[in-house]
A and B are shown apart, each in its own frame.
Chain A
Amino acid sequence: MTPLIHLESIKKVFTTDEIETHALADIHLDIKEGEFLSIAGPSGCGKSTLLSILGLLDTPTDGTYILNKKPASGLKLSERARIRNREIGFIFQSFNLIGDLTVFENVELPLVYRGMSVGERRARAMGVLEEVGMSHRAKHLPSQLSGGQQQRVAVARALAGRPSVLLADEPTGNLDSTNGEAVMDLLKDLHQRGSTICMVTHDTRFTAFAERTVHLFDGRIVSEEEAAKNHVP
């Protein structure tokens, strides 16, 4: 079966002045459709850089990235924006809800960029808010919500575009344990209903929610662990 995401020999080098920093080196990774993958590792190991590349927010210095059977390198900015809008849903550690917009407006934002009609947007946004249990807060501003509620809205926003993959960057990092677990339960539920999820975390409590965990260290995948068994590539 062709993987949804295929990374081959991905390398990322940051150059500042005369110093080269190798953030990622020789990354080979496949993510299958419907899979829940967790990327783990200590701070500065390249987790977020890898997620940025997966989310087309950044480009690799070298290597091949195939998303949904299409090469993701060499794309124009507008094409990358279109793919982000249709194929990828982001969930951030600090939620990144836009403070001026209501919950509903935040959730419908990717659909606005897609140029969807008002009626369709409304139905879709309210649907996902129902799904995460936040429809009753649709008219509130983010500042009127708790952290856990804000992250639920962020998940709804990521789901609104019906993306091929959800990319979650430390989704529980800014939440207390109760809210953290609630958000993880939500992700697990989404996965069980067929969503493909790729989550970055360094919290070992939550890697267990994933079917597979890859461990990064100094920009390289040093181990891969499937639920219930260890595997060293």
Chain B
Amino acid sequence: MSTFLIDLTRAFRRLLQRPSFTVAAVLTLALGIGANTAAFSLMDRLLLSSFPFREPERIVTLYEWDATKGQDGRFNLSAPNFQDIRQASTQYESMTAINRTMANLSGSGEPAQVEVARVSASFFPMLGAKPLLGRGFTEAEDQTGAPRVAVLSYPGWQRSFGGDPGVIGKTLILNGESHQIVGVLGPDFRVPFAFNIDNPTLFRPIAFSAGELQFRNRHNARTFARLKPGASRASAETELKGILAHLASQYPNDQQGRTGRITSMVDEVSDMMGAQMYMLQGVVLFVMLIACVNVASLMLANGLGRQREMATRVALGAARSQLMTQLLTESALLGLFGFLGALIIGKTLMAGFPALLPANYADIITLGMNGRALGVCFASSILAVLVFGLLPAWKVSRIDPAAALKTGAKGSAGREHHRLRRVLVVFEVALASCLLITAGLLLRSLAKGNQAPLGFEPRPLQTAAFRLVATQYPTPESAQAFMEQVTQKLGTLPGVKAAALTTNLPQSMGGNIGYDVEGQLLPNKNQHMAIPRWITPGYFSAMGIRLLQGRAFTRLDPDSVCIVSDNLAQKHWPGQDPLGKRLSLEGPNGPWLAVVGLAGWTRQYAPGRPVDPEIYVPFHTGGRIQFAYLTLRVDGQPQAVVPALRRAFRELDPNLALANVWSGAELLGSNEVGPKIIVKITAGFSALALLLAGLGIYGVMSLLVEFRTREIGVRMALGARVRDVLRLVLTDGLNMVALGLSLGLLGGYGLGHAIASQLYGVTPADPATFVIAASSLALVALLSTLIPAHRAATVNPVVALRDE
């Protein structure tokens, strides 16, 4: 048997012989590594899954960019620009567009509103995605008038066709039109990009219509391209700017002042979630470090008890490298057990994540221990072994054998170990307090955000979305007539106080539109941006939005009126009466819409982000509107009206499906889910850090008491009372905690400033957060120190003095 195998089998036996040490170390490691793995899986699912593509570093996103508007000046390409740029560019292997929308799916059981992605024929090949069944699209299919075909996503295949392997060649009805299924994608396929947590149910060719190709100011073609080998992002961007400059000279009305920008996948993720991602990684690192410090501390204690054994081994001729190998083998074995425990804990935590999500998302995110998570778990274990194993192994292997054989654990080496363990506790407390402060700031920020004015009353409110089947409502009149029926019927439902329709809800990430203000035209054909909403007359009542001036719409309003939000009025007509002022949604030459009312602003995004101006237009002037949200102000619980709502819709149109049937609270919960989840995870990790820090303090104090048993015996023999001993031990423990806490508060202050951009309504030095964090840690530290202190105070001096 080789020396390594001997070390391994003896290390295994040794761990079995010390169940309490082994369980403490393995549990701590499993918690640290398991939490790390679960957090990684979540990040992987939410963010990194954007990259399961062939050579993702060569995939870029193309934007038009209005440099005068900074980050807000970034737009997707318009359909005609996409075609022109694709034709003129030389830097790409292929370029592809995607446009996501909702549609009614029928022909496979109950009709349903599903998300559909229209994509170029080159979409799947460019990403390197190979369908699980069938094929992708051909160029011929990506033309107007081509036979209608569809590719199902894996979840779409499972949901709508029960995973039927014979689905290829079957037909489905999308918005009343028959489509032949030509392919099914694999389970790992993800649509770029990045924080979309669900795939569309199905894909169909984008085949831009002649109508779409008319408008260069409708930025509805999200564009991805694969760089040619040798092409760089910089060279592609230079080319894009050149093409757009040429387009600007050709189409000055739409393209004047527009340039181009190209971003990589990493840039995109970083823009969207960078801060949160780094924060989560930081939090995970802290917890891992605390766990490692705890285990290192345990290993040092364990090593301390083995001073004499190590000295004997040295006397028998063991080289330092042999001792190091033996101790590292033990650490590695602990790491292996920790890894196995982490798999269980990681899986359990992953199963618990949906509880953190709003109910309407909980069934979408399913996390599993995939290969990447397993890799991270394993790598974390190795890292942990190196962090917690090396220092104790190095320390123990450097013992002075002559001294250790003479004094055993209670010699100078013991004192040195205790010094090191004290340093580790200080470090651990500092880390835990940093984490607590960060979590506290984020939680308080979230709470403040939840209390922030939304501009509408989310309770009790019920909302839902629906899309008309185009073939059933082919004209503006038929569509409007149906919408009118919907409003009428819903208004009479029991429990409904007000019902209305809108094309866009607050808190639902709708798009912006350019507008011009009479008498305030921007140079170079630039436009102001606002959120447009086509609304029925009862919208403000149904949503609980304040009408500050003027009037709401009536069904008799012409198409030349609008209502604006107060922030828009303040921007353009400060100190003036906005009523009667005019603006245009279709360019500087009108037609002009006269302002007839002034409404309070509503919040589209999370607190802390700018509130966009809003322009409301009468719904009935919007022509053939096919997609709408309904909003119902109700009495009592919003969910109570849902059955009647569904029934009413079935009576109105049995082919029509409702989507996003959300109460006002669910609507709020669905907005910017990612950052909220991360705040909750940070809070959970902080609680874990607090627990681990408590265990660490307890471990060190217990050992220190054991080390000082004889001293305590002497003190008691000399007349020390119980309270004197208690004070002695508590002072010792709390001094360490106070030092760690001081460092942690300083660190927390620094971290608070680092995450200041993520905070709303809370300053990085928020006194309440600091007080709560410090008191929580002090309380845990006190409890962790009290038990060893009590043990010390009940030492029998006779036994203690004999015990040498």
User: Which residues of A approach B to under 8 Å, CB–CB?
Assistant: 48-49, 52, 55, 57-58, 77-78, 81-86, 88, 90, 92, 96-101, 105, 109-110, 112-115, 118, 157, 161
Contact = CB atoms under 8 A, between A and B. Distances in A.
Nearest to A89: B316
Nearest to B17: A100
Nearest to A16: B412
A118 B322 CA distance: 18
Contact of A90 (B308, B309, B316): B316
B772 interface: no
A214 B322 CA distance: 36
B395 to A, nearest CB: 16
A77 B319 contact: yes
Interface string B112-154: 0000000000000000000000000000000000000000000
B13 A82 contact: no
Contacts of B316: 84-85, 90, 109-110, 113, 157, 161
User: Which of B17, B314, B321 has the most A CB atoms < 10 Å from its CB?
Assistant: B314
18 contacts: A48-B406, A55-B315, A57-B314, A57-B401, A57-B405, A77-B319, A81-B318, A81-B319, A81-B322, A84-B314, A88-B317, A90-B316, A98-B312, A113-B317, A113-B319, A115-B3, A157-B316, A161-B317
B317 A114 contact: yes
Interface in B265-313: 308-309, 311-313
Nearest to B412: A16
Given A57-B401, A84-B315, A101 B10 contact: yes
Contacts of B321: 78
Nearest to A95: B312
Given A57-B405, A85-B316, 10 more contacts: A49-B402, A52-B401, A55-B315, A57-B401, A58-B402, A78-B319, A96-B309, A100-B13, A100-B17, A110-B317
Nearest to B404: A57
A92 B401 CA distance: 13
Given A57-B401, A81-B320, A98 B315 contact: no
B452 interface: no
Interface residues of B, number: 25
Contacts of A77: 319-320
B306 to A, nearest CB: 9
A92 B13 CA distance: 26
Interface in B303-345: 308-309, 311-322
Nearest to A93: B405
A112 B401 contact: no
Contacts of A83: 317
A161 B317 CA distance: 10
Contact of A113 (B13, B17, B318, B405): B318
Give the top 9 A-B pairs by smallest Cβ distance, nearest first. A85-B317, A52-B402, A81-B319, A96-B312, A58-B402, A84-B317, A110-B316, A57-B402, A90-B315
A105 B313 CA distance: 12
A189 to B, nearest CB: 22
Contact of A112 (B3, B13, B315): B3
B317 A100 contact: no
Contacts of B13: 100
Contacts of B318: 81, 85, 113
Nearest to B7: A112
B419 interface: no
A83 B318 CA distance: 10
Interface string B369-406: 00000000000000000000000000000000110011
B604 to A, nearest CB: 66
B6 interface: yes
B14 interface: yes
B740 to A, nearest CB: 29
Contacts of B401: 52, 57
A100 B14 contact: yes
Contacts of B718: none
A110 B316 CA distance: 5
B210 interface: no
